[in-house]
Amino acid sequence: MTRPNLEQMSVFVAVAEAGSFTAAADRLGMAKSAVSQAVSALERELGVQLLQRSTRKLAITETGAVFCHDCIELLARAAAAVDRVRTGKAQPTGVLRITSVVDSAPMVAEWIAEYCARYPAMRIEYLPTDQKIDLIAERFDLALRIGSMQDSSLRAVKLGELETWLVAAPDYLARRGTPRTPQDLVSHEWIALTVVPTPWTRVFESPSGRQERVRLSGAISVSAAAAMRSLVVAGAGIAAFPDSMVRADLAAGRMKRLLTDHRLPKLFLYAVYPGSRAAPAKTRSFIDLAKTRLGMPGTAG
């Protein structure tokens, strides 16, 4: 009696995640017929139906869902075992799946280009999005995030620190006036970024070190930082951004910085990856490249 092999399991997981044989074949670089044959062989060897097929859609069975979860864990352990043997002996190979916020895409794109030139055997799948991705469920190897590390199932490597600046367009300030204190913001239009933990509350630190929590209000909330920036430039209200995101707007006169004598909490740029152990070589190599480009010392754990 033959046993299912890792390649069959990998193909099955790709089909289950992609939702179709065609999409899985594109991801794997295989012929659609080969993908279908691999899954069918796996089902025959297991003696169970993993997928429900019809002319219109493909659905995973209850048994298939449980088996898929086990396959993902098994494949991860196998990849880690291979990586431990290869570390220091060969260049990374395979696929590295990365996600980041949309506004960091130009920076991340430069890192990806250099990474691919340095490791030609690697393939990259990159998803820029302002929505927080479940790295484990979506099988991402690495995420670049801004903020504080909260998910204990992920490991984090700090890449850099960012100041938070309060800004508004000159047109808005001409119409509504310029706030001089944090409490003045209460009567202004705040544009809230809904993907942060407290979009309607900000904590300011005065020159003397006293902290002041301000509850803000406004008619507009948005889920993407790029859209929030466009709204501020259009004169819709006041918002807070990482300094790197608005320096060009400030220099061009499209925005003005507010309350410069007060500080907002710093933001941190993190590389995060799933698992409780050291990052695989392919992930570690990308993190080390990013740290080098940002002038950070050390090597990823």
Degrees (nearest 5) of the Cα angle 248, 253, 257? 80
**pLDDT value at position 83?**
67
Domains annotated on the chain, with CATH: 6-85 (1.10.10.10), 90-161+268-293 (3.40.190.10), 164-265 (3.40.190.10)
Give the max Cα distance, the chain: 79
Phi and psi at residue 109, to the nearest 5°:
-60, -40
Cβ count within 10 A of residue 130: 18
pLDDT at residue 19 is higher than 90:
no
Burial class (CB in 10 A: 0-12, 13-18, 19+), 129: middle
**pTM greater than the 0.75 cutoff:** no
pLDDT at residue 27 is higher than 70:
yes
H helix or E strand, kind and range, residue 6? helix 6-18
Nearest to 125, CA basis, from 301, 298, 286: 286
C-alpha to C-alpha distance for 50 and 9, rounded to whole angstroms: 11
Q: What pLDDT digit, counting tens, does each position of 141-162 carry? A: 999 988 765 655 678 888 888 8
**pLDDT value at position 298?**
53
**pLDDT value at position 295?**
75
Q: What pLDDT digit, counting tens, does each position of 247-279 carry? A: 999 999 999 999 999 999 988 888 998 875 678
**pLDDT value at position 53?**
84
Residue 51 banded pLDDT, cuts 50, 70, 90:
very high
Mean pLDDT of 112-136: 91
pLDDT at residue 128 is higher than 80:
yes
Q: What pLDDT digit, counting tens, does each position of 181-194 carry? A: 999 999 999 999 99
C-alpha to C-alpha distance for 240 and 193, rounded to whole angstroms: 9
C-alpha to C-alpha distance for 258 and 298, rounded to whole angstroms: 36
CB 101 within 8 A of CB 225: yes
**pLDDT value at position 72?**
85
Q: What pLDDT digit, counting tens, does each position of 236-249 carry? A: 999 999 888 899 99
**pLDDT value at position 118?**
93
C-alpha to C-alpha distance for 71 and 13, rounded to whole angstroms: 7
Q: What pLDDT digit, counting tens, does each position of 78-91 carry? A: 876 776 666 555 57
C-alpha to C-alpha distance for 135 and 153, rounded to whole angstroms: 10
